[in-house]
Amino acid sequence: MKATYLAEDQQGQPYPARVQGTMRSLRFISAESLVSHPQLAGESLDSVAHNLYPLLFKASYLQEQAEVTRAVLGHWPQEEFRLAALLGPSADHPEDLRDRACRTCLEACVQGLADHVLQGMSGRLWIADFTGVRDVQVQRCPCGRALGRWGRTELLARTCCQLQAEASKIRHTIEVLTDLFVTEGNFEVVVQALQPAGLAPLKLSCTSFRADSLSPGKLLQVLCLARPGELRKLELVHNVRLHAGHVQQLLAQVGFPQLASLTLPTKAFNAPPTCAPTPEGEDRLLTSIALELSHMTQLTELSVAFSTLTGKIQTLLGSLRTPLRVLDLANCALNHEDMCFLADCAHATHLEVLDLSGHNLVHLYPSAFFRLLRHAAHTLRVLTLEECGIADNHVGMMTLGLSPCRQLQEFKFLGNPLSACALKSLFSALCELPELRCIEFPVPKDCYPEGAAYPQDELAMSKFDQQKYAVIAEELRVVLLQADRDDIQVSTPLFGGFDPDIHETSNELGAFLLQAFKTALENFARALKQME
């Protein structure tokens, strides 16, 4: 095969990396020039050296030349295609494009993969890895249209199903790595893609699985097909209605030996309606769940927010084999016993991300809470304490408690009744944390009517004096500037940050909630009729 270089010196040799400088190399500039002429680029692919295909791919993705992107992947000559690595910074082009979930380009990638299979290429490509793309609020690609995790799942699944009809013409299988996001809307096509009737030209494989708006039965079905023994991350969120019986069944029957990260939905530890408590008050389901978790020797991230776990934290976490790095216990109704266990357990000295929102920590459990912070100080990077009843008279204690946390990068404490004066004092202390880069602070209580109740509902939260807030926010920024800490970003996201998964599936989730409300009304009407 003839090999041509995209950039050569006067002797016809490729420019070495040291000549290319720190910005775009001459090779990449040449690649950009070629892909800007799609017809010429397509005709030249057979004469391009194999090691230059990554340059052509990134250049075509950068310029959103979908026709070239599709052709490059259709002719891909290497054994592996790894999207995140190709879009990431390199010596030839230092810009990171992994946050460009560009619909036009990603659709071209999948079409190119299908072309590769259908055209019966050399058979060198065995793995196509579509993981590692970051979903962000604002797309920087020319079209500005994103294809989120749910959309990528559906696109890949539909392409797999379409190619199954052509299986007799295809000589080898390509394994496609992806982050699956399954809801009621794409459940059927994902199941068909994961469970082909015959030969599968594209074989879906995932290390990350997210589910929303699925019944427990459908969740169990699709998880069993998704090679759970290889899963590293499992997120069951929002409208996956599980109780403790479902969780125990899922963990015991499916098994997740490689799981490193587990997120369970609201009320996942509530007892099933038919489960009666034992005379001794033992929670046998929770004990069984804890046993299953203890079999996961890779588990380092656990999120169980909005589950009632009063007095149960030691049972849940005490038998884990590995120390947790990420722990979300927001709104879990923890008591003094739970906080004491957290403060002194083996997990405390390894925690990097901790969310204890919804607990009145400084007022009810100050000793245990600040002991926990002290033990976590050398590793803690992200701390979230939203709606924890932190008031002006607690600022001194908070300042002392946070001072050892020298690795802290993000501190989020929305929904706490703090005045402007108290916030300025707290900001002055936060400036002393060298790694801090992000603060999410509450609307000062000065901006609300006197006597406003905390925690606030969404309606009350949004009714504040915005002009007064703007003045105070500017004063807080001045505190940072005077401390030479303009590297710290501050904000007050009243209704939460951007969630790409919720944004993408909001219509489907809305329909799901309306149906659930309709069903509840029908059940209520039926009950009233029976009482007549």
Three-class DSSP labels, 461-473: HHCCCHHHHHHHH
Q: Are 459 and 494 in contact (CB under 8 A)?
A: no
Using CA atoms, how far apart are residues 525 and 523, in angstroms rounded to an integer?
5
Q: Collect all residues with Cβ–Cβ distance below 8 Å to 33 and sequence separation of at least 6.
A: none
pLDDT at 303 over 50: yes
Dist CA 365 CA 342 (whole Å): 12
Q: Is pLDDT at 509 greater than 70 in this prediction?
A: no
CB 301 within 8 A of CB 262: yes
Q: Is the pLDDT of residue 62 over 60?
A: yes
């105070």: which residue's tokens? 472
* Percent with pLDDT over 90 in the chain: 75
Indicate the SS3 state at residue 226. coil
Alpha-carbon torsion, ordered 132, 137, 143, 147, to 10 deg: 50
Q: Phi and psi dihedrals of 82, rounded to 5?
A: -120, 105
pLDDT tens track for 166-203: 877 777 789 999 999 999 999 999 999 999 877 789 99
Structure tokens at 428: 């002055």
What share of the chain in percent tops pLDDT 70? 89
Q: Is the model's pLDDT at 325 over the cut of 90?
A: yes
- Return the beta strands (E) in 283-409 as ranges: 301-303, 326-328, 353-355, 382-384
Convert the pLDDT of each residue in 378-392 to its tens digit: 999 999 999 999 999
Report which DSSP code applies to 345: S
The amino acid present at 532, given as its one-letter code, is E
Please report, as a single letter, which amino acid is at residue 220: L
Tokens for 371, please give them. Answer: 């002991």
Q: Which residues pair with 434 in a beta bridge?
A: none
For residue 519, the model assigns a pLDDT of 56
pLDDT for 298? 96
Q: How many CB atoms lie within 10 A of CB 435?
A: 12
Q: What is the spatial distance between Cα 347 and Cα 332, in angstroms, rounded to a whole number?
A: 18
Distance (Å, whole) CA 44 – CA 520: 62
Distance of CA 92 to the CA centre of its chain: 29
- Alpha-helix residue ranges (DSSP H) falling in 195-258: 216-225, 244-253
Residue that has been written with the tokens 């019944």 in this structure = 215
Q: What is the pLDDT of residues 1-11, one digit of tens each?
A: 333 334 443 33
Residue 504: CB atoms within 10 A of its CB come to 21
Chain-centre distance of CA 274, in angstroms?
A: 34
- Mean predicted confidence (pLDDT) in 313-333: 97
Q: What is the three-class DSSP state of 278?
A: coil
CA–CA distance, 314 with 252 (Å, rounded to integer)? 20
More reliable by pLDDT, 52 or 495:
52
For residue 401, the one-letter residue type is G
pLDDT per position as a tens digit, 215-238: 999 999 999 999 999 999 999 998
- Chain segment 348-374, per-residue pLDDT in tens: 999 999 999 999 999 999 999 999 999
pLDDT at position 138 is 84
Q: What's the whole-model pTM score?
A: 0.88
Q: Which of 6-10, 186-190, 243-247, 252-256 comes out lowest in average pLDDT?
A: 6-10
Strand boundaries in 366-481, DSSP class E: 382-384, 410-412, 438-440
Distance (Å) of CA 144 to CA 32, 101, 103, 141, 167:
20, 9, 8, 5, 35
Please give the single-letter amino acid code of residue 526.
Answer: R
What does the radius of gyration of the chain's CA atoms come to, in whole angstroms? 27
Q: Can the peptide bond before residue 444 be classed as cis, meaning omega within 30 degrees of 0?
A: no
What's at 96, amino acid-wise? D
Q: Would you give the DSSP letter of residue 198? A: S
Q: Would you say 314 and 284 are in contact if contact means Cβ atoms under 8 Å apart?
A: no
For the chain, what is the largest distance between any 2 Cα atoms, rounded to a whole number of angstroms? 97
